[in-house]
Chains A and B, each alone.
Chain A
Amino acid sequence: MIEVSGLSKSYGGFEAVKDVSFTVGDGRVIGLLGPNGAGKTTIMKVLTGYHRPSSGRAVVGGIDAAEDPLAVKRLVGYLPEGVPLYADMTVEECLSFIAEARGIAKAERAPAAAKAMEACGLAGMGPVRIEHLSKGFRQRVGLAQAILHDPPVLILDEPTTGLDPKQILEIRALIRSLGGDKTVILSTHIMQEVEALCSEVLILNEGRIAAQGSARELSEAMQGGELITAVILGRGGGAGDAGDAGEGSAAAKAAAALGWPEAAAKPLGGDRSELSYRAPAGRGDEAAERLFDWAAASGAKLLELRRERISLEEIFVRLTSEEQKR
């Protein structure tokens, strides 16, 4: 549904997006993830036909956004960042204006508005002026105007910013219910949002794509794909109770025995100590098995063995800071 190739966009001398390419299939939900100023909003502005690219192409539904912005605007429902709306209008007036602007036939305007308001939890808010709405409700009006004409493509710039946790969950549920039917691009700097909503992630940093793929693929592709944490009961070797530094603990012994020099050992008091080790991608099973065998052979007991995939958040921080170092 969406094809972006070699897209660059400069504002004045500042290059906000540099040579970005990606595609989004029909009915997919893709998340643009990145720190502020990474170029997420700029990509969206080009995809909505609001801004023209400096070079490269952005094609939505087979139409080049720079060549026929009007046709692209018809295909897309857009929630701009910060939800700019006409403050002096009521919710009803605003949605009815958008419906007219979208060319919805007169008889279908009221039902379309009612449906969008229902979907966004705005029932009963019709006569309220937008300037009197809380941020959460403004956000919902923004979303309602974006889905009003039932567009095949939805572009949502930070759809949950400024909402309280309950509202966030509701808006996410709404977006999830739209996916499958619509192609959705959303931007965020909250990792859980991407993990909760998106079938695919595009991590942006300083205008470039730092990584892309499904949340799972991204985690696995990264070095140190899995974090193994074990709580071990057992006396360490060597000098009796030198446990305070962690050096003489069972965990330290295990690390030495298994050849994991970069693993961290931490005494937990008594004879317990904790071992944490980053297993390389795809080696989690093997590492856990070796740890178990070591414990059985050396008479230590595993009180706990935990394996966590490294969260997107960690990947994100690592990618964006690695990129900056270069």
Chain B
Amino acid sequence: MKAALVIARRELRSYFNSPLAYVFIASLLLSSAIFFYFLGGFYAANRAGMRSYFALFPVLLAVLVPALTMKLWAEERRQGSYELLMTLPFTEAALAIGKHLAAWSVIAIALVATLPVPLMVGLLGRLDWGVVAAEYLGALLLGSAYAAVGQYLSSLTRNQMSAFMAGAAALLALGLVYQLAVWLDLPPWLAGAVNWLSLGYRFISFSRGVIDSRDIVYFGLVSAAALYLTAKRLYFSAWS
């Protein structure tokens, strides 16, 4: 665990040494605010709630998180520092977890930066702060799952752009697959399966203010599975 923190600190420093972290935070703030005020119908709804704000997150994060995670391994491979890193005494698990913590921290910082939005909404009307807290917890968990999947895809290539494209495609699919069940008249068992699979559907229940331990476990499992695959990928690269 200590080793993972060493990696996380280095990676976090690298995020803030480059414009990447700032661009990520600014993009999330701007795009979410723009969609919220102009497209989300905040005023039309005439109701103090953050639901339409957070409803955008599965899509916004699906595009923005891969921009954050694409470099995690692709850049190491391109730069050759992969070899340096892999000959330091780190376990593969510590490497994957450390990098995950760094990307997740940037997401968490970006979420903290959005706090003025609910605060302003709270000034305009009565806001249920319990629901807002649940929504933030959901966004944090969603961010973790997205970051882990993004990291795994980055470990598969030395080209950052392919890591980004694959990440955005995979996360949009995972995030939005539940919409299939809304649009199409799927048989109930299939709709159930699609909903079960979709990270976006899990996220919605947080927007309702419901904290279901099954949802938390689900996000945790997706993160852990993606990190496990990343560690395995690193392990097997020694046989390349």
* Contact call A101/B3, Cβ cutoff below 8 A: yes
Partner of B84, one of A51, A69, A74, A84: A84
* Contact call A51/B239, Cβ cutoff below 8 A: yes
Contact A52 to B238, CB < 8 A, known contacts A87-B79, A101-B90: yes
Report the count of interface residues on B (CB-CB < 8 A). Answer: 23
Contact A48 to B87, CB < 8 A, known contacts A82-B80, A87-B79, A101-B6: yes
B81 interfacial contact with A, CB 8 Å:
yes
A80 interfacial contact with B, CB 8 Å:
yes
CA distance A84 to B87 in the complex (A): 12
* Contact call B81/A93, Cβ cutoff below 8 A: no
CA distance A78 to B86 in the complex (A): 11
Q: Mark contacts of A70-91 with chain B using CB atoms, 8 A cut-off: 1 yes-contact digit, 0 otherwise.
A: 1001101010101011111100
* Contact call A84/B83, Cβ cutoff below 8 A: yes
B89 interfacial contact with A, CB 8 Å:
yes
> A66's closest neighbor in chain B, by CB?
B238
B232 interfacial contact with A, CB 8 Å:
no
Partner of B10, one of A76, A84, A97: A97
* Contact call A50/B87, Cβ cutoff below 8 A: yes
Contacting residues, chain B, for A100 (C-beta < 8 A): 6, 9
Partner of B86, one of A50, A86, A88: A50
CB distance from B11 to the nearest CB of A (A): 10
B17 interfacial contact with A, CB 8 Å:
yes
* Contact call A80/B80, Cβ cutoff below 8 A: yes
A-B contact count (CB 8 A): 64
* Contact call A78/B239, Cβ cutoff below 8 A: no
* Contact call A51/B6, Cβ cutoff below 8 A: no
Contacting residues, chain A, for B240 (C-beta < 8 A): 11, 51
Contacting residues, chain B, for A25 (C-beta < 8 A): none
CB distance from A267 to the nearest CB of B (A): 56
A49 interfacial contact with B, CB 8 Å:
yes
* Contact call A80/B89, Cβ cutoff below 8 A: no
B31 interfacial contact with A, CB 8 Å:
no
Contacting residues, chain B, for A103 (C-beta < 8 A): 89
A98 interfacial contact with B, CB 8 Å:
yes
Partner of A50, one of B3, B10, B81, B83: B83
Contacting residues, chain B, for A85 (C-beta < 8 A): 81, 84
* Contact call B81/A76, Cβ cutoff below 8 A: no
CA distance A247 to B168 in the complex (A): 81
* Contact call B81/A88, Cβ cutoff below 8 A: no
Partner of B88, one of A73, A87, A93: A73
* Contact call B88/A101, Cβ cutoff below 8 A: yes
Contacting residues, chain A, for B9 (C-beta < 8 A): 100
CA distance A85 to B82 in the complex (A): 9
A102 interfacial contact with B, CB 8 Å:
yes
Contact A76 to B87, CB < 8 A, known contacts A51-B238, A84-B79, A88-B17: yes
Contacting residues, chain A, for B87 (C-beta < 8 A): 48-50, 73, 76, 78, 80
B213 interfacial contact with A, CB 8 Å:
no
CB distance from B81 to the nearest CB of A (A): 5
CB distance from B155 to the nearest CB of A (A): 16
CB distance from B55 to the nearest CB of A (A): 36
* Contact call B89/A102, Cβ cutoff below 8 A: yes
B13 interfacial contact with A, CB 8 Å:
yes
CA distance A76 to B84 in the complex (A): 12
> B17's closest neighbor in chain A, by CB?
A88
> A155's closest neighbor in chain B, by CB?
B87
Contacting residues, chain A, for B239 (C-beta < 8 A): 51-52
CB distance from B131 to the nearest CB of A (A): 41
> B6's closest neighbor in chain A, by CB?
A100
* Contact call A98/B88, Cβ cutoff below 8 A: yes
Contacting residues, chain B, for A93 (C-beta < 8 A): 13
Contacting residues, chain A, for B238 (C-beta < 8 A): 49-52, 69
Q: Mark contacts of B69-93 with chain A using CB atoms, 8 A cut-off: 1 yes-contact digit, 0 otherwise.
A: 0000000000111111011111100
CA distance A40 to B240 in the complex (A): 17
The 3 closest A-B pairs by CB, nearest first: A84-B80, A73-B89, A101-B88
Chain A residues in the interface with B (C-beta under 8 A): 11, 45, 48-52, 69-70, 73-74, 76, 78, 80, 82, 84-89, 93, 97-98, 100-103, 145
Question: 28 A–B contact pairs at CB < 8 A?
Answer: A11-B240, A48-B87, A49-B238, A51-B240, A52-B239, A69-B238, A70-B89, A73-B87, A73-B88, A73-B89, A74-B89, A78-B84, A78-B87, A80-B84, A80-B87, A82-B80, A84-B79, A84-B81, A85-B81, A86-B10, A86-B81, A88-B14, A88-B17, A93-B13, A100-B6, A101-B88, A103-B89, A145-B84
Given contacts A82-B80, A101-B89, could you give 16 more A-B pairs where the C-beta distance is less than 8 Å?
A: A48-B87, A49-B87, A49-B238, A50-B238, A73-B87, A73-B88, A76-B87, A80-B83, A84-B81, A84-B84, A88-B14, A89-B14, A101-B3, A101-B6, A101-B90, A145-B84
